Amino acid sequence: MEDVKRCQMCGKVISVAEETDYYRHIRIKYCDYCRDTAVRLQTAARVARLRERKKQKDALRDEQLHLLVQENELLRERVMQLREETGYKISEPSRNHNYRKDDFLC
């Protein structure tokens, strides 16, 4: 363990092992002057990382949505094609029409 610790920001001596409590000595990183700034910088960095992650997550979700839309269009086209090939038509349902399983079977 270092006997003398210096502030990680300004280099000022902040703790001397023999003169202070052991746990305080190993925990301390900044002088009183720099501590608030250090905490603020760490918080800003954490928030920036969170925002970046959120941005990446949103981009991925948008891409997945786009792919699903494309897949849906292709499936719709395929259904139309199959209907034309087989001559199968689903009649327009009336307002009160209740779908039965048979309606969807070719």
Q: Binding of Zn ion at residue 26 (CB under 5 A)?
A: no
Name which of 37 and 81 has its Cβ closer to Zn ion.
37
Q: Binding of Zn ion at residue 45 (CB under 5 A)?
A: no
Name which of 5 and 34 has its Cβ closer to Zn ion.
34
| Binder among 2, 3, 4, 10 for Zn ion (CB under 5 A) | 10
Q: What are 69's two structure tokens? A: 């839309």
Residues 78 and 75: their CA atoms lie apart, in Å, by 5
Name which of 42 and 81 has its Cβ closer to Zn ion.
42
Size of the chain, expressed as the number of residues it contains: 106
Residue type, 21: D
Q: What is the dihedral of CA 1, 33, 10, 31, to 10 degrees?
A: -10
Residues lying near Zn ion in the complex (CB under 5 A) are found at 7, 9-10, 12, 31, 34
